[in-house]
Structure 1
């Protein structure tokens, strides 16, 4: 099934790479749009059913376990995809070794989750049990090697089939839980079951339509070479998790679960748009890497146009949401969450820096500047934590939103100026705010 319309495909018949990229983007968009639509609908229904306090506890647990996801993922995605593109013959060894590393990382991550929540919430058995259930999702991280393979082949439709099929089934399960007036814990178990089913089917699809699962290999030498490239990205991922999730955790610890519920309602609307840069960059960046082989000028010209596109798309999201935030929150969540409108009005502007950061992170991987990326990400995380300590007592959820924007701006934009190696990237991102550059043609995708 091709998602590029027939008349477009005919006009671009002489540019097969562009057709393939657009078709892959289409599948990724179909995946995320479906999740955005159904997920937001079911998520809003769950929020209304649970109320701000229980919804806040659920999101506190999700954010808390999310802090440790980078450990189980080990920063492997970009490196594995890059290595498969560069050396297709070595794919079985690369994927197999990555799977073993993520199995170990998932186990370590889960132990850390259990130990940390026991320290933070010693007198809250409900919070500890919910975190323990959701934390087990990290044990299934190794199945993502299927996602890496199909991304490297620009064939994301297979992972879309799996993830969306299971997602729709469990969306129906959660609706059933609402109608049967189930407890909060039941929704948590459903979330874990969904992750387990996706993991199993992804591996089956990989063996069926990609690499034979039995052909995967692993050895210590390849593990060492992967870890040499990925350890800075893993630490960077931990720092990213901190400045993306710490606001909800600190709100829960400093204010309470209800504040987390209000904040999470706004953040879900704000972050639902983040699939856009991820889908575009995942489909486009392999062609940008190929362009580097033909010359630096073409390579950076394409990268500049990618940044231009990121800013254009982010503004197309942020501007309307700024003016209609209260209306959107009221329609979706109801009066119990009315304070979330003001939070959304602020938080939505983080999208500008998130969109740029997604594109810039792939350049970091391609150029081998993982340590620099780690340093600037840690800086962003430290600033976010410090600002949350200052702003949450003053403005509660809105303070957390302000802290998020500033920390994203530092990590994904301003920090590029600090080093000579990345200063060119800073100026490229700065030029992308020029409105005349945002509307360039997209012929560079081929």
Structure 2
């Protein structure tokens, strides 16, 4: 897995070599999780059936929506502070840990109050949400990962998290074999958080560090929160953008509709690592091209966008026509209604791929703040469209809302800002099939 990247990295200077190897670990993590996650997820879905699988995914989306209140938007700021002020590392890490730990309890409280109001009298839903939300408390130990990120040593996090992930994957298979109840699957999600936290703590100690050296600082906490509150709101916006469809389906239709929709999106979203991998790989060459000439710079942007459009449509077209075969083959006859959802939702990949492809341009041009605006516009559009379409079209309506809102955020919104209108017309050019075979 790592050999090609490590071979290339031998030609780089020590720092770039370190980055290349670190990136290989992160890619391996994504591929392993998506592969094993899809296989075990399909098995769990077939075992639980549409109703209970839907309830589990509803609860997962519910907790995920509140997660920004636990993470507090601190991660990137903390990594930056550790790099800048390594001598204050223990104070930064200790303060961050306690803020996230407290945030985890705040999330649990919000989750329990909210679910009691939304699903009054539904004891199973209440307990599933309770158990899943408790797992977020242990994510405070992800603070350790922030130091590994600052040191460009993500392999220690990948090892710890994936040992927990693989262990729990086997446990889920055992639960299926012994005919376990739904709540048992919620408990193993909590167990994965606990095991991941233990693994991180062990790796931290093995590397010669001690959690006991961490210190709390009220002054540091206030300084961090002053910077992070906007990022927390950004995270909340992103979660609404990504998860609101499942929650609205659960509230406006039923858990079975969530189960069908979740089955379709598991297949549709499995491809999303592709644009991330490509974009990350070509980003340095785009930056280099900018320094050489504007012409070369935009030529590479155009080439990247055309490649993304080609790949996404090459995935979406066959998936549209094979959706029924795929859904029934993977999930079983009970999920056949998810095939039409998949045939629609897969076209969101076109705009996901395009959005990721424009990210290097936004970063290079110093327009990253506009990304939050686009996400907010997409989130609002998604909510409004779901209100309009879900009552009459159920999961198909949610899929249509997703495709349109992604198109608005990643594509259409660029037309209405003078700073991004240029990239909009480049996107238009990439969508014209007759130009795919040309290189300008």
In structure 2, what is the equivalent of residue 208 of structure 1? Answer: 206
Query: Do 1:347 and 1:405's aligned partners in 2 also have CA atoms closer than 8 Å?
Result: yes
Question: What's the TM-score once normalised by structure 1's chain length?
Answer: 0.83
Q: 1:181 aligns with which of 175, 179, 182?
A: 179
Find the residue that maps to 1:323 and give its secondary structure: helix
Find the residue that maps to 1:396 and give its secondary structure: helix
Deviation at 1:118, TM superposition (A): 0.6
Deviation at 1:293, TM superposition (A): 12
CA distance in 1, matches of 2:338, 2:425: 35
Q: 2:11 aligns with which of 14, 17, 21?
A: 14
Q: Name which of structure 1's ranges 250-259 and 358-367 shifts more when overlaid on structure 2.
A: 358-367
CA distance in 2, matches of 1:427, 1:85: 39
Matches within 5 A, 1:114-125: 114-125=112-123
Find the residue that maps to 1:405 and give its secondary structure: helix
Query: Do 1:78 and 1:365's aligned partners in 2 also have CA atoms closer than 8 Å?
Result: no
In structure 1, what is the equivalent of residue 390 of structure 2? Answer: 392
Q: 1:66 aligns with which of 52, 64, 67?
A: 64
In structure 2, what is the equivalent of residue 443 of structure 1? Answer: none
CA distance in 2, matches of 1:18, 1:317: 33
In structure 2, what is the equivalent of residue 444 of structure 1? Answer: none
In structure 1, what is the equivalent of residue 190 of structure 2? Answer: 192
In structure 1, what is the equivalent of residue 260 of structure 2? Answer: 262
Query: Do 2:287 and 2:364's aligned partners in 1 also have CA atoms closer than 8 Å?
Result: no
Find the residue that maps to 1:330 and give its secondary structure: helix
Q: Name which of structure 1's ranges 18-27 and 401-410 shifts more when overlaid on structure 2.
A: 18-27
Find the residue that maps to 1:107 and give its secondary structure: helix
Query: Do 2:136 and 2:193's aligned partners in 1 also have CA atoms closer than 8 Å?
Result: no
In structure 1, what is the equivalent of residue 247 of structure 2? Answer: 249
CA distance in 1, matches of 2:228, 2:44: 37
Query: Do 2:286 and 2:360's aligned partners in 1 also have CA atoms closer than 8 Å?
Result: no
Query: Do 1:151 and 1:282's aligned partners in 2 also have CA atoms closer than 8 Å?
Result: no
Are 2:333 and 1:335 equivalent residues in the alignment?
yes
Find the residue that maps to 1:75 and give its secondary structure: coil
Unmatched 5+ stretches in structure 1: 441-446
Deviation at 1:411, TM superposition (A): 2.4
Q: Deviations over 1:19-42 (max 9, x none)?
A: 544433432232222222222221
Find the residue that maps to 1:247 and give its secondary structure: helix
Q: Name which of structure 1's ranges 264-273 and 31-40 shifts more when overlaid on structure 2.
A: 31-40
Decide whether aligned partners of structure 1 residues 329 and 388 sit closer, same or farther in structure 2, where only a CA change above 3 A counts: same
Decide whether aligned partners of structure 1 residues 141 and 199 sit closer, same or farther in structure 2, where only a CA change above 3 A counts: same
Find the residue that maps to 2:179 and give its secondary structure: coil
Q: Name which of structure 1's ranges 48-57 and 220-229 shifts more when overlaid on structure 2.
A: 220-229
In structure 1, what is the equivalent of residue 162 of structure 2? Answer: 164
Deviation at 1:185, TM superposition (A): 0.8
Query: Do 1:236 and 1:373's aligned partners in 2 also have CA atoms closer than 8 Å?
Result: no
Matches within 5 A, 1:40-439: 40-84=38-82, 91-209=89-207, 212-278=210-276, 304=301, 311=309, 314-358=312-356, 372-423=370-421, 426=424
Q: Deviations over 1:277-318 (max 9, x none)?
A: 456667887x68997997996997799376666556544543
CA distance in 2, matches of 1:211, 1:291: 38
Unmatched 5+ stretches in structure 2: none
CA distance in 2, matches of 1:189, 1:313: 38
CA distance in 2, matches of 1:230, 1:408: 26
CA distance in 2, matches of 1:295, 1:225: 39
CA distance in 1, matches of 2:296, 2:74: 24
CA distance in 2, matches of 1:199, 1:424: 45
Decide whether aligned partners of structure 1 residues 36 and 248 sit closer, same or farther in structure 2, where only a CA change above 3 A counts: same
Query: Do 1:97 and 1:222's aligned partners in 2 also have CA atoms closer than 8 Å?
Result: yes
CA distance in 1, matches of 2:217, 2:240: 32
CA distance in 2, matches of 1:419, 1:400: 28
Decide whether aligned partners of structure 1 residues 365 and 146 sit closer, same or farther in structure 2, where only a CA change above 3 A counts: farther
CA distance in 2, matches of 1:102, 1:367: 33
CA distance in 2, matches of 1:328, 1:250: 26
Q: Deviations over 1:415-443 (max 9, x none)?
A: 34433455565556556657878999xxx
Deviation at 1:361, TM superposition (A): 6.4
Find the residue that maps to 1:67 and give its secondary structure: helix
CA distance in 2, matches of 1:390, 1:53: 24
CA distance in 2, matches of 1:326, 1:238: 34
Q: Deviations over 1:163-221 (max 9, x none)?
A: 22111111111111111111111111111111111122123323433865445455344
Q: Name which of structure 1's ranges 46-55 and 84-93 shifts more when overlaid on structure 2.
A: 84-93
CA distance in 1, matches of 2:198, 2:241: 31
The number of aligned residues is 436
CA distance in 2, matches of 1:39, 1:386: 31
CA distance in 2, matches of 1:284, 1:57: 40
Find the residue that maps to 1:182 and give its secondary structure: coil
In structure 2, what is the equivalent of residue 39 of structure 1? Answer: 37
Q: Which has the higher contact order (CA 8 A, sep 6+)?
A: 1
